[in-house]
Amino acid sequence: MRPVLAAALSAAAAVLLAVPAGAAGTTAPGAAAPAAAARHRAVGKEVTTSLYGAIDALPVAAEDRTGYVRTAFRHWIDADRNGCNTRAEVLLAEAVTAPEVGANCALAGGTWLSKYDDLVLDDAKLLDVDHVVPLAEAWDSGASAWSAAERQAYANDLDEPRALIAVSAKSNRSKADKDVTEWLPPADAYRCTYVTDWTVVKTRWGLSVDQAEADTLHRLAAACPNTELTVTLAR
């Protein structure tokens, strides 16, 4: 398990659609979310739903990148002050063969599987830590209205293992800030996991999707198992 991220989060609750617990498997992708799904979000609340239900529950809104700068999301931080920043924590957590940890959390040796492109890498310098939902995409989808502390928490989210992933630098830079309508992992076998993780992160952080993104998620998910999901709300 990754270390728990200590970050200040806003105590304000937001109103969003969320599928009620126990609804897993009851809604086909693309179907309208039931009216009873509307509820108040609360930080730390666990929501149990299905992949199809979670996609249906994502609010649809136009995206706006006005004012975005990457520095609006402070990263990588050392939240638990153990000498290793968020990037290093992800690399340590996801190593297939553990690297040696030197001074200032310098990593030597080790091996990693880059799941985006199914490559085995043996040098931490060949990997990037990717935000599954890119920072720019988060900004477009609601984070522009967040506090600096909330954006920092998002950019360093070690509490949700599906939020950050160590992948080859090549695949990460190919993805850049593209959403699921523009980019999917080259490894076909990983695409259902990627769609699921994208949906989990958007659900966890109360982010919206634009119409094209919603349509793409529905289309892609239709070829995937309707996995039951438990998501802890971060805001």
Give the per-residue pLDDT at 42: 83
Ordered by start, the domain boundaries in the chain are: 15-232
Q: How far is CA 28 from the centre of its chain?
A: 23
pLDDT tens figures, 61-113 = 999 999 999 999 999 999 999 999 999 999 999 999 999 999 999 999 999 99
* Separation between Cα atoms, residue 215 and residue 209, nearest integer Å: 10
User: What is the overall mean pLDDT for the chain?
Assistant: 87
Q: Count the neighbouring beta carbons within 10 Å of the beta carbon of residue 115.
A: 19
Give the per-residue pLDDT at 148: 98
- C-beta of residue 135 within 8 angstroms of C-beta of residue 70: yes
What CA–CA distances, in Å, run from 154 to 130, 182, 195? 12, 22, 19
Residue by residue, pLDDT tens for the chain (235 residues) are 444 333 333 333 333 333 333 333 334 444 433 322 334 578 889 999 999 999 999 999 999 999 999 999 999 999 999 999 999 999 999 999 999 999 999 999 999 999 999 999 999 999 999 999 999 999 999 999 999 999 999 999 999 999 999 999 999 999 999 999 999 999 999 999 999 999 999 999 999 999 999 999 999 999 999 999 999 999 9
Sheet strands (E) in the chain: 15-17, 38-40, 46-50, 100-101, 107-108, 112-114, 119-121, 127-131, 164-168, 228-232
Give the global pTM.
0.83
